[in-house]
Amino acid sequence: MKQCDGNSVGVVLRDSDGRILMITRKLAPSGIAPIAGHVCDEIPTLTHLGAAVVETQEEVGLTVWPEDLTLIYARAIENRCRRTPAPSLGHEWMVFSASRWTGELTPSERETRGAAWYTAEKIQALAERTVAYAHGDVTEAEWQASPGLEPVWVDIFETIPRRVSLFADMTDTIVRLPYSDIAAVQKLYMAEVAS
């Protein structure tokens, strides 16, 4: 099993309509999420920025360039990991946004069950399904058959504005939920250690 390097990267690709490309994960943790992964998977010298380029190619077959990636989120999150050493103490996250790429969308058959473009409204609905799962209103079997937003991304999207611009309204985030629901979802990923 691969080692956890304690660093994770995410890539939010937005099309001209403002939709976000997300994958349905085949590997743990289950859920629907943007492109993401560990920073030092195969190349131990990668930076978060370099890993954003590699993960985008690996998970969806698209090419992005470092100069087109904009850092939109950086924070340590206590999200547990299926990798050793377990339990991990979480990850230093950096999430980048891009609206330019090349290539044909080709989701990884090993890592995904497919990819699609999601509106902010659909992402909100996925987050609400994750909240229902966190509160026990969606069974594990129902979640695996039709997952919501990967739990850690509920927290991340709750801080990222819907529109990326110099004058973005920081209160108009991709996901909007009451604190009690965010706290319930945090318990899912803070306790997550896949077997």
Q: Alpha-carbon distance 9 to 172, whole Å?
A: 23
Q: What is the pLDDT of residue 99?
A: 87
Residue 163: pLDDT above 70? no
Largest CA-CA distance found in the chain, in angstroms, rounded: 44
Q: Which residues pair with 74 in a beta bridge?
A: 94
**What are the helix (H) ranges across the chain?**
48-60, 120-134, 140-145, 151-157, 179-191
Strand partners, 76: 92
Q: Which of 191, 78, 184, 171 is nearest to 128 (CA)?
A: 184
pLDDT grade for 60, boundaries at 50, 70 and 90: very high
Whole-number average pLDDT of the chain: 87
Mean pLDDT on 80-91: 67
Q: Is a pLDDT exceeding 50 seen at residue 194?
A: no
pLDDT, one tens digit per residue, over 97-135 is 998 999 999 999 999 999 999 999 999 999 999 999 999
pLDDT tens per residue across span 25-52? 998 778 999 999 878 766 777 888 999 9
Q: From CA 103, how far away is CA 97, in angstroms rounded?
A: 17
Helix (H) or strand (E) holding 92: strand 91-98
